[in-house]
Chain A
Amino acid sequence: MEQRRLKIKIMVLDDEPIVCKRLKTNLEKVGFEVDIFTDSTEALHHVQEHPYDIVISDLKMKVVDGMRFLKEVKKNSPRTEVIIITGFATLETAKESYKQGVFDFIAKPFKLGEIQKVVEQAAAKIRASEKEV
């Protein structure tokens, strides 16, 4: 089971390097493979070539906003689970993102335990759907 778990690939996209770095450190430690991006354009290009199991993205970013990014990700790879992280100000927009098929959203600032739990749930869903296949 551990080996299956190690296969889960996560992309983290946030303007703020601190969010990316801390998520990477903590998610890697519990067995996920994590790539981090602070530039949404770069992330968009990358995600078109390399599908991820889970994408964790901020909603409010320069250049490509989170909503557009989310649509692109889902268009390229509908099976990718997206988790939105967002500041208090964009909470309402975040709720709308549910309509775009978002797995869950988390308001910043958040506890490491909280996001880890959501990521584990998304991973469980992915593993379950893999089994079905």
Chain B
Amino acid sequence: MNIWQRLRNLITGKGRQSQELIDLPVIFEHFQEILVDNQRAMEIITDLGEKAGGEYIFDRQYLADAVTRLQDVLLRLVKGLNLVADNRYTDLYQTLDRIFLPLESELRGRLSLSADAPLVCSLADLPLDHPEMAGGKASNLAEIRRRLDIPVPEGFVITTKGYRRFLEHNHLEERIHGILENWQAGQGDERQTSRQIQYNMLAGAVPPDVSRAIRSHVEAGKKEKPWIVRSSAYGEDGELSFAGLHKSLLNVTGKNMLSAYKEVLASLYNPEALIYRQRMGILGEEAAMAVLYQEMIQAQISGVAHSRALEMSASDQVMIYAAPGPGRVVQGRSQVQRILVHCEPPFEITWLPQDPSAEKPGLGRANDSAAAREAGQSGLELLSDGVVRQLAIWVASIERYFKRAQEIEWAVDLEGKLWILQSRNLHFPQAELPNLEEVCDSCTAQPVIVRDLGSVAHAGVGAGPVFKVRSDEDMGRFPEGAIMVTPFTAPWLARIVPKASGIIAERGSAAGHLATISREFRVPALVGVADAMKMFDVGEEITLDTYNRCVYRGRVRALLNYELMHSLVFEDAAEFRLLRRLLKGIAPLGLTDPQAGNFTPDGCTTVHDVVRYIHEKAIQELMDIPKSLSRPSGVQVRTLASAVPLDLKILDLGGGIDPEAAGLQVTLAQVRSLPLKALWEVLTRPGVWSTEPIPVDFQGMMSSLTRTMTSSPGLETGSGIDLAVISDSYLNLHLRLGYHFNLVDARMEADPVHNHIYFRFLGGVTDITRRSRRAQLLARILSRCHFKVDVKGDLVIARVLHLTADEIEARLKMLGQLIGFTRQLDIQLRSDEDVDRFENTFFQHASPDGKCEAEGGQHGTTAIENKNNGSGR
């Protein structure tokens, strides 16, 4: 039995025992609790999101506590909705289990792989932020390819789960453990230990499910092409460096695929790797090897690039080593060409004279094509300026992303296309590291443009020339490595974020769009810096240090070098990786359309989805109430006397009406509910409530005659009443004006923490095109007044949160005006141009007390953010 039925029984006194009846105030109490919990849930989600930016220090306990608190709130929300809806949403308990169990298991262990982790996965589908599954090398490549959009050869990864399966299948876990224990106890040296373990591994069989998966991925790739099989151990290329300790095999073809896998796996127990892990305190059991299969690029030229040419004492230049043929083939070396490229536009190139003594180890040559070899040996330039610049740009962008100086392998294929083969942290001898006193001195000496302004969206240090972005056109000209300074925080900036060395935005919060994007691309970002556009000159070099919310004039080289070579990269810390993985199950919102088929408990995939779903369903449950009150006997419902032809019924939950007021009719002067007063006073003004009949044109009239009343949800019956459920600071208003339906739910208290307005508008008398035009018009007007707006056909949902009582009041007055203004507007919206016209008319005629328009806002492109603009959004 739904609310409608229950209330009808309540009103008519039919069919139910009195103790089973649920009265309206109790339902609203539950509903208000749902709203409060909804905001609590969103606050926890926002809070977790902010922590991902690096400005905060937190530990695992914080993450565990936050997830527990979130779970408690969600349980209360599900319970609350079921209380309001007579237990018709019990499926949501299963949904919560489905969403929270993986979060709990993430919190339990650092190296635990979920049961559904794949044995083998293509680079294109590899889950990001799971180096414990794919190893460091493969994870880095997947990020370069997908986050930075830089070409990386196709490939697939046999995950660490495949490694565990291999050990299990061959009963090797115990045996390896025993051999390692003997070594620890002093029996035998690392060479004997290594030999014993590797012998056992090479004698093992690849489990059938793993070998099947390898074959199917190989067959899906280019036929008959050779592969490179590379180690991708957990920890390799990350915080710890195993560079060169494990094996990579080249030119692997069909029949050697499985033996290559075993050979690379066994290299996990190379003597050098054993010693290294022992020194780093990594236990045998913690070691795990993923293996990366990459299609081999038929290279005409290949080489290595260092993002910082420290060997040349040129810390702001990229050093490229190039030689003909594929790299790292055999030990016999030919001459290597060295190119220095300045790492900022215009990427000035210096071709260094060939110096045989400066050969780069590992750059052996074998199958040099004759022409290329000749070029290399004769001193001709192997690479064009264009390719050199492209490579330097990619190298700088990879370095920016990983926040560490990088050593990058690259190749140019036979068609002349440039590829990145792998990237790892570049390690420097201790002597070359910048000393801390120098860093402090440089920072103290440098002129400061901004200090202690704005909020940190992503922590880090970046430098470059200032480039101001105001429009789409500016975005097209954004130079690689510049600092973006912008008045906006809109999602359309996403395209250039990966190119930026840093971001300074006038608006926005640490939980907003731009913050989320800057975190994804690891770009240092400071948001909410008022007047930032006026503070900087275009083209001037600045250094942005968001750890200290500070902007220096010029490049603070010591600080930049310190960050790139020495400082802790917080993104790589286990806690931050854990937080990012948790956030994937918590923060994204997939359920945006309440009318879509997947708007169900099963369709919820994140905590945010569930919060959104419950909010929407609770509102829908309430929307049925006025219909059930068409004969309002038995409950204390009064009528508001009004100058306009509206028969508004009022149900007071407490404090909403002057206690002195007697009788069934009250006047606006007797209303104590602040939100109702604000809205109603404006709505019923003579200038706002136009009583003139609107001329209906033929199409509009036909549509109104033929349109069935059930064609829009929420308009099933015309017999509902206009109802306001109120308290001193609360309003839930259902208003049916002709053929469309307004719902306003608002709270307006001195403390803004629970203040909100939820506005929902649906329906109309004309065809869907005109009704959609009205929805568009509403959306534009609401956006300009800081609402977060969603439009689907003729349904408009708008929200604001956490505003002060004054700001809420101004918006309620605006809504009063808007409801009056748009009452019969769809009939008049004959063309798209009319939308612009009426938008201007609205703001021209808006009364001063309802003014809440955003400065400079236009058609939603400004996308001005509230602190948190939308429950469930």
Interfacial residues, chain A to chain B (CB-CB below 8 A): 2, 6, 14, 16, 18-19, 21-23, 25-26, 28-31, 87-89, 108-113, 115-116
Contact = CB atoms under 8 A, between A and B. Distances in A.
B216 interface: no
B547 interface: yes
Given A28-B436, A29-B567, A30-B440, 16 more contacts: A6-B437, A6-B440, A16-B59, A16-B60, A19-B59, A25-B567, A30-B548, A108-B58, A109-B57, A109-B58, A111-B55, A111-B56, A111-B456, A113-B548, A113-B549, A115-B57
B440 A31 contact: yes
Interface stretch (B221-229, B569-577, B793-801): B569-577
B547 A108 contact: no
Contact of A26 (B441, B547, B575): B547
Q: Which of B51, B57, B452 has the most CB of A within 10 A?
A: B57
Nearest to B573: A18
A108 B57 contact: yes
Contacts of B437: 6
A94 to B, nearest CB: 15
Nearest to A117: B452
B286 interface: no
A58 to B, nearest CB: 9
Nearest to B575: A18
23 contacts: A2-B440, A2-B444, A19-B59, A22-B57, A22-B570, A23-B57, A25-B567, A25-B568, A26-B547, A29-B436, A29-B439, A29-B440, A29-B547, A31-B436, A87-B65, A108-B57, A108-B59, A109-B58, A111-B55, A111-B56, A112-B57, A112-B459, A112-B547
A30 B573 CA distance: 22
Given A22-B568, A28-B436, A29-B440, A113 B574 contact: no
Interface in B443-466: 443-444, 452, 456, 459
A2 B439 CA distance: 12
B55 to A, nearest CB: 5
Which 10 A-B residue pairs are closest in the complex by CB-CB distance? A109-B58, A16-B59, A31-B440, A25-B568, A109-B56, A18-B575, A109-B62, A22-B57, A111-B55, A21-B568
Interface string B457-500: 00100000000000000000000000000000000000000000
A106 B779 CA distance: 44
Contact of B56 (A2, A87, A112): A112
Contact of A112 (B55, B60, B439, B443): B55
Given A2-B440, A112-B547, A29 B562 contact: yes
A14 to B, nearest CB: 8
A29 B56 CA distance: 16
SS of A interface (majority): helix
A66 to B, nearest CB: 14
Contacts of B60: 16
Given A29-B562, A108-B59, A111-B55, A88 B549 contact: no
A23 to B, nearest CB: 7
A109 to B, nearest CB: 3
A112 B60 CA distance: 17
Contacts of B58: 18, 108-109
B476 to A, nearest CB: 36
A113 B504 CA distance: 18
B357 interface: no
Nearest to B57: A22
A31 to B, nearest CB: 4
B61 interface: yes
Nearest to B59: A16
A77 B437 CA distance: 28
Contacts of B55: 111-113
Given A110-B56, A111-B56, A113-B549, A87 B440 contact: no
Interface string B640-654: 000000000000000
A19 B57 CA distance: 6
Given A18-B574, A25-B567, A25-B568, A110 B57 contact: yes
Interface in B607-621: none
A111 B455 CA distance: 11
Contacts of B444: 2
B294 to A, nearest CB: 33
B581 to A, nearest CB: 16
Nearest to B568: A25
A28 B441 CA distance: 13
Q: Name, among A21, A25, A87, A112, the residue most crowded by chain B CB atoms within 10 Å (CB to CB).
A: A112
Contacts of A26: 547
A21 B547 contact: no
Contacts of B436: 28-29, 31
B73 to A, nearest CB: 16
